[in-house]
Amino acid sequence: MMKGFRIDRNDGRIYAMGMTAVSGGVHFSFPSRGETCAVILYRKGAKSPRGRIEFPVNARTGDVWSMTVLGDFSGLEYVYEVDGQQVPDPYGRKFTGMQRWGSLARLDRQVRTPVDTEGKAYDWEDDILPCIPYDQCVIYHIHTRGFTKHASSGLEGDSRGTFKGVAEKIPYLKDLGITTVEMMPPVEFEELIIPERVDGSPFAAEKPDGKLNYWGYTGGYYFAPKCAYSSGPVREPEREFKDMVKALHRAGLELVLELFFDGKEAPSYVLDVVRFWAQEYHVDGVRLVGYAPVKLLGEDPYLSRLKLLAPGWDGVEPGQVKHLAEYNDGFMMDMRSFLKGDEDQLNRLVYHIRHNPGQVGVVNYMANTNGFTLMDMVSYDTKHNEANGEENRDGTDYNQSWNCGVEGPSRKKRIMQMRRKQIRNALLMLFLSQGTPLLMMGDEFGRTKKGNNNSYCQDNDISWLNWGLLNSNSSLHEFVKHVIQFRKEHSVFHMEKEPALMDYRSVGLPDVSYHGLKTWCPMFDRFLRQLGILYCGKYGKKPDGREDDYFYVAFNMHWEPHEFALPNLPKDYKWHTVFNTDQDQVNGMYPMGSEPVLENQKSIMIMARTIVVLMGKEVPAQKKASRGKAAGKGERKEEEADDTVRGNDTVYREPQAGGLQPSPGAGQDTGALQSRRRDKFICLSGSAFRYVLF
């Protein structure tokens, strides 16, 4: 026993794992299967230990060693010793020697945990979690360091690349329309890539060569925020992270952090980690990357209201609150395929646009960490990972991208116009889908990684966000702001539950319906790339409580223009153009409240590779002059005639309630399926039946 220290053998209380400050000393709890276990104490910065305190034989419960040590721990650091081998505390909340990012010098230093006997409480100041439902979320995915590290971020040098830097960008996030920030792993991890030794291999590296694990998808010290992501001469990552969370919550924003597990961790340890970040740091959610016990986490009562994102939740019983969400690449890959004009993609389009299960959320994105940025998606056909030092062998070869005619940067007007259009198309696909949209940092103003789709080791301009693009690509930024605001204003694009494709409220129209070049007759032949989607505003509410508007979204990803017949609107309603991605001169959009009336209310020509969004708005009828009896009769006949409107394929009669009812008409395909039930009306052509009735 070290001089000045003694073990309190009468302390029978139960403590959490790791180190806990107690009156007059410290309690240590450490899980280990070793035969012997001890605490090794060091003076701060010393190479030689000050002393060793061994766990008593009777201090073991199962594989957990536990003891309370009384004494003065001021200025001391510790590690554990298991069967003669020193190991850092896996439950440590702070570590020395990790202050400098990417420093090779620390390989010669031992990773230790400072002994904190003060146990200072953080003042959360009545912090309240926003608790934003998935259907109202707009997620923004960032890397803590890369988000503000670039000199163009406008932050002071000490704040760049830190938790403090993220907090200073909150006004920008609010202005953009973001509700939720998703942060790549912010826990303490070893960014120096240490190659695994392979005995007998002449190519095996003996030590790191300076390549960094920039992303952080590796094992680490899960209870400690990363010290290199904090600012100031005296790094306080715990306080700075909490300050950031508190600032986000004050602004009404959520924080979802990513945690990577390689599957070697005990399920109970993973559960402790997730609970810790929810309770200690007030995070709003956790995205589980790698291998995690999803059933254990998804059904844990402590986490029943914490947002949990994972690739899937099969076999997990959802809680009363919709807090689980699917997070995978399916949306990105399928929608990119449709975007570039691949055939046989319409069924995938309607699935993803509609997909929003009642008990589990869905996170959608067109670009993420593992792949091209939005700008690179329309600028490169193949990956360009040469800078990674792996001869371009790393990263996926399947990016579902199209360079629009030229590989890499181009000054050709037609190429630039096409790329802008395709990005606008991609953004509309994302934000008009029913799931929760996720935007990768910088995609709102044309961020590029120069064709690198696997920048895991690029701690430089390839991965850092160049804020200078915000000025040069301001039109794209304005488009993103506009489409986010548009989505928030119209709940038909983010319903609480998945559209039923039925008129279950008996308002005259299904909540959502599919159309082809002819109204009410969608076709899903593999060679087709055109689809119209009608949204009934009576199934949604605007922020002020009023009924939402009617919307018709026309997709034409064919390389030729096509004419779409338009569904008829109630009397005194007319179609207005909200978005037209082909109209580069107006940036593909029109200001809210200033949407122009469509000249032809019967049909519209949709240009090649274009998405058009139409809004059905009421146009007040003009006052009519008083007429005689004979004239009145004429007016009556005229109004009755207007009540029945013939489209290309269907005739509709305006009911008194204001909804739309189908009635027999001319121009329909002989193979069309019709149903005139009041609660469900679907008109489909041939084999399209199975695609609509999911």
pLDDT in tens, 412-461: 999 999 999 999 999 999 999 999 999 999 999 999 999 999 999 999 99
**What is the structure's pLDDT at 91?**
96
**What is the structure's pLDDT at 643?**
36
**Number of CB atoms found within 10 A of residue 207's CB:** 9
Q: How far apart are CA 689 and CA 683, in angstroms?
A: 9
CB 367 within 8 Å of CB 373:
yes
**What is the structure's pLDDT at 202?**
52
Length of the chain: 694
| Strand-pair partners of 27 | 20, 68
Tokens of 123: 């003042």
SS3 346: helix
Please state at what angle helix 330-339 crosses helix 346-354, rounded to 10 degrees: 130
Tokens 């160049």 map to which residue?
A: 466
Phi, psi of 673 (to 5 degrees): -95, 130
Q: How far apart are CA 140 and CA 620, in angstroms?
A: 40
CB 490 within 8 Å of CB 248:
no
Residues of the chain with pLDDT under 70: 1, 119, 195-209, 621-694
Could you list the beta-strand ranges (E) of 155-213. Answer: 180-183, 187-189
SS3 325: strand
DSSP state of 598: P
CA 17 vs. chain centroid, Å, equals: 32
DSSP state of 621: P
CB 593 within 8 Å of CB 670:
no
Helix (H) or strand (E) holding 41: strand 37-43
Tokens 């060091």 map to which residue?
A: 42
Tokens of 683: 């008109």
Residue 527's Cβ-side half-sphere holds a number of Cα atoms within 13 Å equal to 1
**What is the structure's pLDDT at 670?**
30
CB 451 within 8 Å of CB 372:
yes
**Beta strands at 254-262 and 180-183: parallel, antiparallel or unpaired:** parallel
**What is the structure's pLDDT at 196?**
62
Question: What DSSP assignment string belongs to 368-419?
Answer: -SSS--HHHHTT-SS---GGGTSTT-SS-S------TTSSS----HHHHHHH
Q: How far apart are CA 87 and CA 94, in angstroms?
A: 14
| Strand-pair partners of 646 | 651
CB 452 within 8 Å of CB 213:
no
**Beta strands at 307-310 and 285-291: parallel, antiparallel or unpaired:** parallel
Phi, psi of 579 (to 5 degrees): -130, 140
Residue 593's region, left for phi above 0, alpha for psi from -120 to 50, else beta, is left
Residue 252's Cβ-side half-sphere holds a number of Cα atoms within 13 Å equal to 12
Q: How far apart are CA 84 and CA 38, in angstroms?
A: 9
Q: How far is CA 32 from CA 59, 86, 90, 108, 612, in A?
A: 12, 12, 11, 25, 61
Rg (CA), the chain: 30
Classify the C-alpha dihedral 680-682-686-690 as positive or negative.
negative
| Strand-pair partners of 22 | 25
**Beta strands at 220-225 and 187-189: parallel, antiparallel or unpaired:** antiparallel
DSSP state of 289: E
